[in-house]
Amino acid sequence: MKAKLLSAVAIVLLAVALAGCGSAKPAAGSVDGNIKITDDFNQTIVLKTPAKRIISLYSAHTENLLALGLDAEIIGVSPAESAQAAKDKPVFDYRADPEKVLAAQPDVVIIRPFIKQSHPDFVKTLEQANIKVVCLYPERFEEFDSYIKKLAVLTGREQQAGEQLAAFHARLNAVAEHTAKAQVKKRVYFEATTTEYRTITPDSMPGRVLQLAGGVNMAADAQPLKTSGSIAAYGSERLLMKAEEIDVFLAQRGPMNPGVTPEAIKQRPGFDKIKAVREGQVYIVDEKLVSTPSFRLADGVEQLARLLYPEVFSGQ
């Protein structure tokens, strides 16, 4: 009797578990023969077949699509592309008339949240014309894999995405093996923008890059300017209170922080008190290697690790 009761309970539990699995909403995948993903605005995007005509309006999307082998499928890009393969492609601008996009008849237009927030009429016009607009942007490093997999599902490149992600994480693991040999961890201040000497939050993209490179974030107590944002105000007063503890001063250079140089940093009032400045440990890093969600983040992690711990990379 007891055995029968246990069996019955097991069957009920299995049925509940299977029902739960069946009702779960997938973030990306094939559903009823269609391709289906949920984008960052919680919109469900459904395609009957993988996208073959793609307009990418963000350079990181373009880089990642190219990494998945989609050069021929990209029929248009943004005005601010860094990938050489994108230089000769038709340019589309979300600040211009959307008619040019409509005339190109893309299967999908891939954007980031900033575009939808700043130019909602542009996006609305495309959607009203039944153009599939997909909004993606991984705010956190931990969201990067999911973001790449969504691009892969949209384009039928799941195998290529798996291979690229495996190689990406293998590089990160190799860096971790080297930095683990460092006897003393370097304490780092990372400048995101010169304005108010803003820094990065620990769970942001550059914050995780710094951590993966083996650095200790000296502004780990920084609070984001916006909810779920990656930039945090810090200010010179808080920064200089930790002057003697900062082994390395890093500043990113790019659209967010143009024109910054080690010489300019050293000449700032009071910065001669910072240990890193006195000892010549002030470095500039490319914003695209540490803040942009692309496979080049692995380059950024390795570059930072070599700056922080040259001794463990000697001979390589």
Give pLDDT, residue 30.
Answer: 59
Three-state DSSP state, 40: coil
Give pLDDT, residue 229.
Answer: 73
Query: 238 and 297: one domain?
Result: yes
Give pLDDT, residue 16.
Answer: 33
Residue 71 lies in a domain: yes
Query: 145 and 190: one domain?
Result: no
Query: 108 and 233: one domain?
Result: no
Query: 282 and 237: one domain?
Result: yes
Residues 62, 68: contact at Cβ < 8 Å? no
Q: What is the count of structural domains for the chain?
A: 2
Give pLDDT, residue 22.
Answer: 35
Residue 2 lies in a domain: no
Query: 275 and 249: one domain?
Result: yes
Q: HEC profile for 250-263?
A: EEEECCCCCCCCHH
Query: Where is the domain boundary, 158, 183, 215?
Result: 158
Low pLDDT (below 50) residues in the chain = 1-26
Residue 273 lies in a domain: yes
Residue 283, exposed/middle/buried by CB under 10 A (0-12, 13-18, 19+)?
Answer: middle
Query: 195 and 294: one domain?
Result: yes
Query: 153 and 203: one domain?
Result: no
Give pLDDT, residue 5.
Answer: 36
Give pLDDT, residue 13.
Answer: 35
Residue 285 lies in a domain: yes
pLDDT in tens, 75-118: 999 999 988 899 999 999 999 999 999 999 999 999 999 999 99
Query: 180 and 308: one domain?
Result: yes
Domain that holds residue 138: 27-158
Query: Where is the domain boundary, 105, 124, 158?
Result: 158
Query: 83 and 189: one domain?
Result: no
Residue 169 lies in a domain: no
Compute the radius of gyration of the chain from its Cα atoms. 23
Residue 151 lies in a domain: yes
Query: Where is the domain boundary, 158, 185, 219?
Result: 158
Residue 14 lies in a domain: no
Q: How many angstroms separate the CA atoms of 48 and 159, rounded?
A: 19
Estimate to the nearest angstrom the gap between the alpha carbon of 2 and the chain centroid.
55
Give pLDDT, residue 7.
Answer: 38
Q: What is the CATH number of the domain that holds 264?
A: 3.40.50.1980
* Residue among 191, 57, 192, 222 at smallest CA distance from 135: 57
